[in-house]
Structure formats: C-alpha cells, structure tokens
Amino acid sequence: MRKDVNVYLFDPTRKYFHIVMELENVPGALRSVLEVMQGLHLNVLGSFSSVDSSARLGVWSGFVEDSTHSAWDLKRKLGASPFVHDAMVVESSKGFLVDGLHFPVAFNTGTRAVMMGARALANMLGTVNEQFGSGGNVILYEEGRSYGKEVGAEYMMKLGADFIASNLAEVLKLYQALGWFRVSAVKSDPAGGTIAIQAEENFECAGADSKVPHSHFVRGHLEGMATTWLGKPMECRETLCIAKGDERCEFVLSPRAA
Ligand SMILES: [Zn+2]
C-alpha cells in the first residue's frame, strides 16, 4: 500500500482545512477527537499522527474537506475536547491548501529529511550519466557510497552490528520504508559471503532505457551500507535491471577482492 504525505490540495470549487492538534498522550484521546470530527461531518483526506511514547503530548495533523464551518468554528469545537491541548486550523485560499504548519520534515527517528519527486531525482541522476558517461557513473556511485556509509553508521549505532547481521532481510526494508525500492527477496550465501537483493521498482531505474544495468547511486549506497555493517570492504554489482528489460533489479554484494 502507498504511503501518502500531505503536501498540498487544489480545487477552486472546494474548501479545505489543515487541522493540527496537540493531544494529551493518554489512551482514548485520538478516538475521542476523531469522534468529534465525525460529529462535525469533516471529510478527512489525509492525516498523520506522531507521538513519542515518553512525551506528554502527541500531534495529529490532517487535511480535511468541509463546506459548512469556518476555521474559527473548528478551532473552538475541537479545542473544547479535554484531550486537545492546542488546535491550529488553517483554511484553504481559493481552493488551495498547502502544509505551511510543519517544518522541518523528519523521519520518526528524528533525522531531518527532504522529500523530492522520485522521477525528478532519477532524471537528475540520469543527467550525470548522459553528460559524463562512465565518469558520471563513477560520480553517482561514489555519492551513493558516501551516503550509504553515513546512514549505515547511524543504523549501526541504533541497531547494533549483531542485530543487523542476523536480521538483514528485515533491516533492508528500510529502503522500502523510504520509497527507494521494494525488497522482494534477500538471499545470503554464507559460504561465498554474497548477499543477493531483489529490488522491485527501484526509483533510479524505473522509466530508464538502457542496454546495461542502470543503477549507480543505489548500487553505491548498498555497497557503502554493507561495508559499514559488515566491517569489511564489500562490492555491489547490479546483475538484473528493469532499465534493460528485466523484471526487477538485482544487486549482489560480495566481499571486495584484496
Ligand atoms: Zn536497475
């Protein structure tokens, strides 16, 4: 299933609101507030909630459609709930509603994130390949490797090397959680020290047309990550690629020859 992030809505014939509430972090708070919204007949179009288990307050944020209330009305009615610590309500302007209430964007781990369109980013990476050929591919690969090493170290710190090594298939779903590609299978060969990763819909290769494997940034990222996790130099080859007509991309990690 797709993971949606509210960015903006636009329809000049409709009226939207952005509602952000700070809620008491107690059982039943969210249900109670959703019941209030149901009573107001608000049509919730997209929402997220976040809470730190130790925090006193959590946040619910949503885009809703409604033609009968004013922002002031909604703020007052939602704010009357004993579970609502504070409520902010912003009305669309001529049918345009943009999330101007949240910044920065962050993963739930607290790491700040930036979002980009996958196709635009893939095209940006592809331009380096088109302009600089194999030299460009090396740049993309080195950029990916540097990024992979950095976040690999962050995961190492949080999860530990032993956990990662014994739960690799599960941990590699981090790529899926971030929208890079879907992991359909991970096959480890302990004898040869190789790890094959089946990657579906890899953003770097989707829509590309190539006679050779097309992924350099993601391939480098996997290599940097694996090198950090396994504590020894690894190399990553892309053995199947959707850009050359294969059903999926496949990456094979193996120990780098000395
Ligand atoms: Zn590929």
Q: Look up residue 85 and give its two tokens.
A: 């610590």
Burial of 257 (0-12, 13-18, 19+ CB in 10 A): exposed
**Which residue is it, tokens 């190539």?**
210
CA of 208 to the centre of ligand 1 (A): 9
CA of 94 to the centre of ligand 1 (A): 43
> Could you read off the pLDDT tens digit of each residue along the chain, which spans 258 residues?
999 999 999 999 999 999 999 999 998 999 999 999 999 999 999 999 988 778 889 999 999 999 999 999 999 999 999 999 999 999 999 999 999 999 999 998 889 999 999 999 999 999 998 899 889 999 999 999 999 999 999 999 999 999 999 999 999 999 999 999 999 999 999 888 899 999 999 999 999 999 999 999 999 999 999 999 999 999 999 999 999 999 999 999 999 987
CA of 238 to the centre of ligand 1 (A): 7
Q: Say what the pLDDT of residue 76 is.
A: 95
Neighbours of ion ligand 1 (CB under 5 A): 205, 214-215, 241, 249
d(CA 64, CA 44) in angstroms, rounded, equals: 4
Q: Say what the pLDDT of residue 203 is.
A: 97
CA of 215 to the centre of ligand 1 (A): 5
Q: Residue 9: beta bridge partners?
A: 97
CA of 246 to the centre of ligand 1 (A): 9
Q: Say what the pLDDT of residue 110 is.
A: 85
Domain ranges of the chain: 8-103, 118-255
Contact residues for 178 (Cβ-Cβ < 8 A; gap 6+):
none
Q: Say what the pLDDT of residue 55 is.
A: 83
Q: CATH topology for 8-103?
A: Alpha-Beta Plaits (3.30.70)
CA of 144 to the centre of ligand 1 (A): 14
Strand, helix or coil at 243? Answer: helix
Q: Say what the pLDDT of residue 234 is.
A: 95
CA of 202 to the centre of ligand 1 (A): 6
Q: Characterize 10-32 residue by residue with b for buried, 16 or more Cβ atoms within 10 angstroms of its Cβ, and e for exposed.
A: eeeeebbbbbbbbbbbeeebbeb
Which of the listed CATH numbers 3.40.50.300, 3.40.50.150, 3.40.50.12780, 3.30.1380.20 matches domain 118-255? 3.30.1380.20
Q: Look up residue 35 and give its two tokens.
A: 């019941």
Q: Say what the pLDDT of residue 50 is.
A: 87
- Whether the pTM exceeds 0.85: the reply is yes
Is the distance from CB of 61 to CB of 102 less than 8 angstroms?
Answer: yes
Length of the chain: 258
CA of 142 to the centre of ligand 1 (A): 17
CA of 220 to the centre of ligand 1 (A): 12
CA of 214 to the centre of ligand 1 (A): 5
